Amino acid sequence: MPTERPILFNGAMVRALLDGTKTQTRRIVKAPKGFTVGTMTSGGVVEMISVKPDGNPWDVIRCPYGVPGDRLWVRETFRYERCPAGAAVRYRADNHLRELGEPVRRDTVPNGRWRPSIHMFRCDSRITLEVTDVRVERVQDITWEDVEAEGTEGADSAAFADLWDSINAKRGYGWEANPWVWVVEFNAIDLVG
Residue 107 clears pLDDT 50, i.e. is over it: no
Instruction: Give the Cα separation of 174 and 138 in Å (integer).
Output: 12
pTM of the predicted structure, to 2 decimals: 0.85
Tell me what pLDDT residue 88 has.
86
Residue 118 clears pLDDT 90, i.e. is over it: yes
Tell me what pLDDT residue 43 has.
47
Q: What's the pLDDT tens digit per position in 6-42? A: 999 999 999 999 999 999 999 998 876 666 666 655 5
Mean pLDDT of the chain: 84
Q: What's the pLDDT tens digit per position in 54-94? A: 666 666 677 889 989 999 999 999 998 877 777 889 999 99
Tell me what pLDDT residue 103 has.
57
Residue 2 clears pLDDT 90, i.e. is over it: no
Q: What's the pLDDT tens digit per position in 138-192? A: 999 999 999 999 998 766 778 899 999 999 999 999 999 999 899 999 999 988 8
Tell me what pLDDT residue 137 has.
87
